[in-house]
Chain A
Amino acid sequence: MRKILFRVGAVLILLILAGIMMIVGRGHTIYFDNKTLEYNGESYAAIRRINVFVNGEQVAKLSKKERGMATCMGQSFSFDIEVIREKDGEPEPYHFDLSLPYGMDGIIVNLPAIMEGLPQEAWMSEFIPAPPTETEEDELPSDEFEMGGEV
């Protein structure tokens, strides 16, 4: 009985650990867009210059119509931006904390819209990569006895 309990306990611990790893290790790529957005008939114009910082490190310097990128692990993501609306203008700092949807690999965040305090559905969308265009097959396994190899 004790043996069975130990075994079940070990399996449970592994399952819980696996679950935790799946949550904390889930990787996302965040794309920052400085693009004009139309939402509910209103237009939110792109800004002259936006500097994006993640963990204090600058990851993007975006002019109008540009896109930057950062990666993160887990379901929450924080970033800071500096907005420069005019040439030689003072940068306006903003800070955002996002809760990321688990199912999205790539997440597009529209910066002009998030700055205006619009709902999440307005400024967040999924990045869908273009379907692969290559047609060539990968080199598939053969039954040859290979000699070398990297070790």
Chain B
Amino acid sequence: MNKQSSGKKALNFLGANSVPIMFIVIIAVCIPIVGFSPTFLLNEIVTRLSRNAFLILSLLIPIMAGMGLNFGMTLGAMAAEIALIFTSDWQIWGIPGIVLAMIISIPISAVLGLLCGKILNAAKGREMITSYIISFFMNGVYQLVVLYMMGSIIPIIHNNIKLPRGYGVRSSVDLTRIRKSLDNLLAINIGGVRIPMATILIIVAMCLVIIWFRRTKLGQDMRAVGQDMEVARAAGIDVERTRLISIVISTVLAGLGMVIYLQNMGDMATYSSHSQIGMFCIAALLVGGASVDKASIGNVFLGVILFHTMFILAPAAGAKITGNEVIGEYFRVFVSYGVITVALIMYETKKRREKAGIGQQLAAAQREGGVTRA
């Protein structure tokens, strides 16, 4: 009996953590093939962890509120990019440049989040696909603003930011003056591994805020809404407002996270930096063992480490195995999208099973009731 239950437990564990386990296996196979030194690998992982963790943390709150994976985080990323275009044009350098970009991104992200939240409230039950399409729609608006309004209606002074035609922003904005300003602040070196302490402290502070937030009234309301909207409504919770706030918070955090991300990169691809960020962050979170309806801080860190270790290893492994680095690139892209697809399928299957289970229970109860009446 015990043996059976422990076997079942092991199977359940494997089933629940199949994605992280698969990634651990891939990484374990790739590391000896690639032959990177542990110092190099650790340096890369720490850099990518500090670069991406904040962005991925921004996804947790909508999941808590039952709104699934917020593909609309791209909106926050766009707000951050607009803010960085301004700070670059105003020549605000270093940490003040980063802080100012964050401050400017907040109202833009909040307005975009509000818009996204309103639309998602009108599309309950289809939040993920709706937020995904909103991000495409807003990308068009972003292009209109950045490509046609900046330099003509919105003042942009510097020629190195403007397109040669006199308006619109160049496809790449140089962020050298803020590059790694945050990462270099309080940075320490342990055994050849550079640790950006200030960035990590910010990420830790964000984790603590999320833990605290879960215990607040609003956090509890979000969890209640996430579990069952109708029950939450019956309990007197303003469901629409709670969901709206969760998306606004997520979008604002995504904006702040994007500033941290871009200060690490030191260069901004104006028209494409934001387009993939949502997809990669969601993939990383899912790789960490999260699902559409459940995610934790632990999933964020495990996900970043596994997903990005694979990102570091895959091109080199592809080059070693097939002689073509592009194969490794294709592999990592295939895995990113594959993980999201599998997670969505698993979520739908689970939901249908639960529905079928409830249906069976109801049918059984009706049968029993019928027998009693007879």
Contacts and interface: CB of A to CB of B under 8 A. Distances in A.
Contact of A27 (B92, B160, B164, B265): B92
A1 interface: no
Contacts of A136: 164
Contacts of B52: 151
A141 B147 contact: yes
Interface string A89-111: 00000000000000001000000
A25 B280 contact: no
Contacts of A149: 272, 275-276, 280
Interface in A49-75: 71, 73
A22 interface: yes
Interface string B165-187: 10000111000010000000000
Contacts of B271: 140-141
A18 B90 contact: no
Given A25-B93, A151-B48, A137 B104 contact: no
A25 B95 CA distance: 8
A25 B272 contact: no
A28 B172 CA distance: 22
B177 A150 contact: no
B308 A25 contact: no
Interface string A106-141: 000000000000000000000001011011111111
A39 to B, nearest CB: 29
B164 A134 contact: yes
B324 interface: no
B171 A150 contact: no
Contacts of B96: 20-22, 24-25, 73
B336 to A, nearest CB: 9
A146 interface: yes
Contacts of B99: 17, 21, 25
A21 B333 contact: no
Of A17, A24, A140, A151, most B-chain CB atoms within 10 Å: A151
A105 B308 contact: no
B329 interface: yes
Nearest to A28: B91
Contacts of A28: 91
B165 A137 contact: yes
Given A135-B164, A138-B171, A14 B93 contact: no
Interface residues of B, number: 39
B94 A25 contact: yes
A134 to B, nearest CB: 6
A147 interface: yes
Interface in B130-163: 143, 147, 158-160, 163
Contacts of A105: 91, 158
B205 interface: no
Given A21-B103, A140-B147, A151-B308, A27 B172 contact: no
B97 interface: yes
B318 to A, nearest CB: 13
Contacts of B177: 27
Interface string B266-302: 0000011001110010000000000000000000000
B106 interface: yes
Nearest to A135: B164
A151 B309 CA distance: 12
Nearest to B265: A150
B311 interface: yes
B100 interface: yes
A146 B103 contact: no
A22 B90 contact: yes
B103 A25 contact: no
A41 interface: no
Nearest to B326: A148
A148 to B, nearest CB: 5
Contact of B92 (A17, A25, A71, A139): A25
Interface in B321-358: 329-330, 333
B106 A138 contact: no
Given A27-B94, A148-B276, 15 more contacts: A14-B103, A14-B106, A18-B100, A20-B96, A21-B99, A25-B94, A25-B97, A25-B100, A27-B91, A27-B92, A141-B171, A146-B276, A148-B329, A149-B275, A151-B48
Interface of A: 14, 17-18, 20-22, 24-28, 71, 73, 105, 129, 131-132, 134-141, 146-151
7 contacts: A18-B104, A22-B92, A25-B92, A26-B92, A138-B170, A148-B329, A151-B277
Which 3 residue pairs are nearest across A and B when measured between Cβ atoms?
A25-B96, A141-B271, A27-B93
